[in-house]
Amino acid sequence: MDFLFIQFLNGLSSASSLFLVASGLSIIFGVTHITNFAHGAFYMLGAYVAYTLTEAWMGAIGFWGGIIVAAGTVALFGALIEIILLRRIYRSPELFQLLATFGITLIIEDLVIQVWGAEDLLGRRAPGLDGAIDIFGQAFPTYELVLIALGPICLCALWLLFNRTRWGVLVRAATQDRMMVSALGVNQAWLFTGVFTLGVFLAALGGAVQIPRDAVHNAMDLQIIVEAFVIVVIGGFGNVLGAFLASFIIAELNSFGILLFPKISMILMFIVMALVLVVRPYGLLGKAETHARTALGNVVRPLAPLTRKAKNWVLAALLVFLILPIFADDFVLNVGSEILIFALFAASLHLMMGVGGMVSFGHAAYFGLGAYGVALLVKFLNMPMEAAIVIAPLLAIAGAIIFGWFCVRLSGVYLAMLTLAFAQISWSIIFQWDDVTGGDNGLLGIWPSEWASNQQAFYYMTLVIVIAALYAIRRIIFSPFGYTLRGCRDSLLRADAIGIDRLRIQWFGFVLAGSFSGLAGVLYAYLKGSVFPDYISIPLSVDGLVMVLLGGIQTVAGPIIGAGVFKALSTIIISHTEFWKIILGAFIVILVVAFPQGIVGFFLERFGSKEEDIAEEKQ
C-alpha cells in the first residue's frame, strides 16, 4: 500500500512536467493551428540551458534563477523563430508548418550535440531540496514534492491569464475564430508571436525543472514530443484543463503500467489514447473541430490529368530510369531501387492524405507489416520470392483494414494521432515478440530469387513493380472512386448529403493506401535482405510525410519527386558530413519558405498550363 502511494506520488511529479509541455503545445495549436513538432526540442533546450546556468550560478537563487532565465531564453529563441520563419508560412497548408518545425527540430538536435557534447549530463540538485522526507516509512525526494505542486500552480496561473487579462481573452477568441479577431482590429501577427513564446516558455520550463531528476541528453526531445502529442489528443486540442487531466492520466499510467504490464508499458498510452478517441473523438474535453476558416479566395488546385508537356516529362524520366543500369554502378543502382521503393511509399501516403484527406502520422505501419510479412513467410514457410511478393502485402492489408476501421471515424489531427497510435502498437508487438519477429535483432537472410539476385536484375524488377503500382494509384485517383474519395475530403457534409457512404469510401481508400505501402515494404525487405523494427517506427513515418510535403501535396507527381529528392539528398548528405541533421533541417526549412506549395507545386505555378496563364492575364 505504502509502495503504491509512493508510486502514485512519482506519477504526480512526472505529470507536472508533462502538463507544462503539453499545455504549451495545446495553446500553440489552438491559436496558430501549428502542430509544433519542435516543441520537444524546446523542452530539451530548456534542460540544457538550465544545466549550464545552474552550474555557473551558485545557491538557491542561482538555481531557481537559472531555471527561470533558461526558460525565458529559450522562449525568446522561440519568438525569434516564430518571427523569422513561421510568420512567412502561416498562409501555407498547415502540414507545411509541421514540416518546418520538424526541420527546426533536426537543427536543434545537432546544435545541442555540437554545444554540449553527446554525453549525458547530470545536473545539480536543487539547493535545500536535495533531501528526502519520510512518507509512510519510505523516503521521498523533497524536490519531487515541489514538482507535484508546480503543475497545479501553473494551471491556476494559466487560468488567471486566460480569464482575467484582455490578452488571455484575445487568445481564447483567436482559438475559436482567429480571422474574426483580426476583423476586430487585433494584430494577429503579434498575438501569434505571444502565444508561441508562451508555449515555448512552458516547454522549456518543463525541461529545465527536470535537471535534478534525470540526466540531460540529446534524445529527450523525441520521447517527450510523442507523449505530449498523446496528452494533447487525449485532453482535446486547445484545451488546457484537458491537457492537465490527460497529463495526470498518462503519468500515472506510466508509473503503474511498468509494474502491472511491464511488457507493454511502452505502448500503454497509445492504447489508452486509441480507447479515448473511439469513445470521444475529440478528446476528453475537446470540442468538435470547427472547420478552419481560411482567408477568402484561397482555393485548392484540383488534381488535373497530365498535359502533353507533362506526359513528355514522365516519358523522359522513365527513359532515364530504364537506361540507368548502363552507366551506373551497383551502389547507384541500390540507391536507385531504394528511391523507387520510397517513391511508392510516398505515393501511397499521398493517396491517403492528399487524395483521401486522411493525414497519417503512422504510415510506416503498413510498410513495416509488408516487410515483416515477407520475413515471416521466408522464415517459417521458406516461401520463394515470387509468391511472397504477392502474399506478404496481405499482412499490411489486414492491418489497414483493422486500423482503418477506427481511424476513418475521426478526422484531422485526431485521425493522424490514431494512425500514430496503431503504428506504435504494431511496432511494440514486433519489438517485443522476440520468438517470432526476432525483436530488436530483426530477421535476416531474406534474399530475392536467383534470377533477381544481382543488383541490376533487382533494380529492373523494382522498376517494373513500382511503375505498375504508381500507374495503378494514378488510375485510382482519376477513377470514379477517386473522385468520390476527393469529394469526401473536400466536404464530408456534402458527401453525406448526396448519399455517399463516406465511412466505407474512406475505409476503402485507407486500405488501398495501406496495401501499396505494404508492397513498398515487401520490396524493401528484399532490397536490404533483412527487416528491423525501424521499418515500422515513427522516424520512417515522418520521412514519408517529409517526402510528400516536400514534393507538394496538391499534385500526383509531387510525392514521387519529393521521395527522390529527399532520399538522394539524405544519402549524399549523410555520406559526406557528420552535421547531416543541421544541413537536412536547414534544407527543409529553406524549401518550406521558398516552395510553400512543394517543389512540383512551385513549378506548376511558374510554368503551369495555358488555362492558368489566361486566368492570370485576366487580372
Partner 1 sequence: MKSKLDVHGLNSYYGGAHILNNVHLKANASEVVALLGRNGAGKSTTFASLVGLVERCKGSIIFDDQEISDKPTHEIIRLGLGYVPEDRRIFTDLTVEENLLVGKQDERDGVRGWTEEMLFTLFPNLAEMRHRPGGQMSGGEQQMLTIARTLMGNPSMVLLDEPSEGLSPKIVEEMANAILEMKKHGLSIIISEQNLHFARLISDRAYIIEKGEIRYEGTMADLDKNDEIKNAYLAV
For partner 1, which is the closer residue by CB, 299 or 326?
A: 299
Binds partner 1 (CB under 8 A): choice among 1, 134, 137, 297: 297
State in angstroms the smallest separation of the CB of 484 from partner 1: 22
State in angstroms the smallest separation of the CB of 17 from partner 1: 28
State in angstroms the smallest separation of the CB of 298 from partner 1: 6
Q: Does 161 bind partner 1 (CB under 8 A)?
A: no
For partner 1, which is the closer residue by CB, 223 or 294?
A: 294
State in angstroms the smallest separation of the CB of 172 from partner 1: 6
Q: Does 176 bind partner 1 (CB under 8 A)?
A: yes
Q: What are the φ/ψ torsions at residue 444 (nearest 5 degrees)?
A: -115, 170
Q: Which positions ≥6 away from 240 have C-beta within 8 Å? A: 23, 26, 27, 155, 158, 159, 162
Q: Strand, coil or helix: what is 536?
A: helix
For partner 1, which is the closer residue by CB, 187 or 223?
A: 187
For partner 1, which is the closer residue by CB, 217 or 301?
A: 301
| H runs (alpha helix) in 33-58 | 39-56
For partner 1, which is the closer residue by CB, 169 or 390?
A: 169
Backbone angle region of 7, left / alpha / beta, with phi > 0 → left and psi within -120 to 50 → alpha: alpha
State in angstroms the smallest separation of the CB of 162 from partner 1: 10
For partner 1, which is the closer residue by CB, 124 or 172?
A: 172
Q: Does 496 bind partner 1 (CB under 8 A)?
A: no
Q: Does 491 bind partner 1 (CB under 8 A)?
A: no
* Inter-axis angle of helices 412-432 and 364-381, nearest 10: 20
For partner 1, which is the closer residue by CB, 137 or 185?
A: 185
Whole-number Å distance between alpha carbons of 549 and 584: 15
Length of the chain: 619
For partner 1, which is the closer residue by CB, 185 or 262?
A: 185
Binds partner 1 (CB under 8 A): choice among 7, 52, 188, 570: 188
Whole-number Å distance between alpha carbons of 181 and 195: 14
State in angstroms the smallest separation of the CB of 87 from partner 1: 12
**Stretch of 130-138, 295-303, 470-478, 596-604 lying at the interface with partner 1 (CB under 8 A):** 295-303
CA 501 to chain centre: 29
Q: x/- binding map, residues 334-373, to partner 1, per CB under 8 A?
A: ----------------------------------------
Give the DSSP letter string of 432-495.
H-HHHH-GGG-EE-----GGG-SHHHHHHHHHHHHHHHHHHHHHHHTSHHHHHHHHHHH-HHHH
For partner 1, which is the closer residue by CB, 135 or 615?
A: 615
State in angstroms the smallest separation of the CB of 596 from partner 1: 14
Q: Does 182 bind partner 1 (CB under 8 A)?
A: yes
State in angstroms the smallest separation of the CB of 183 from partner 1: 5
Q: How far is CA 382 from CA 171, 374, 433, 439, 452, in A?
A: 61, 10, 20, 20, 17
Q: Which positions ≥6 away from 9 have C-beta within 8 Å? A: 135, 140, 144, 145, 148
Q: Does 177 bind partner 1 (CB under 8 A)?
A: yes
Number of residues near partner 1 (by CB under 8 A) = 27
Q: Does 493 bind partner 1 (CB under 8 A)?
A: no
Q: Does 288 bind partner 1 (CB under 8 A)?
A: no
Q: Does 187 bind partner 1 (CB under 8 A)?
A: yes
Binds partner 1 (CB under 8 A): choice among 1, 56, 118, 183: 183
Whole-number Å distance between alpha carbons of 339 and 325: 14
Q: Does 170 bind partner 1 (CB under 8 A)?
A: yes
Q: Does 307 bind partner 1 (CB under 8 A)?
A: no
Whole-number Å distance between alpha carbons of 174 and 190: 12
Q: How far is CA 38 from CA 142, 234, 386, 466, 565, in A?
A: 31, 20, 43, 34, 23
Beta strands (DSSP E) in 485-564 are 530-531
For partner 1, which is the closer residue by CB, 166 or 606?
A: 166
Q: Which positions ≥6 away from 476 have C-beta within 8 Å? A: 351, 482, 512
- On whether the CB atoms of residues 573 and 580 are closer than 8 A, the answer is yes
Q: Does 164 bind partner 1 (CB under 8 A)?
A: no
Q: Does 615 bind partner 1 (CB under 8 A)?
A: yes
List interacting residues with partner 1 (CB under 8 A).
166, 169-170, 172-173, 175-177, 179-188, 295-299, 612, 615, 618-619
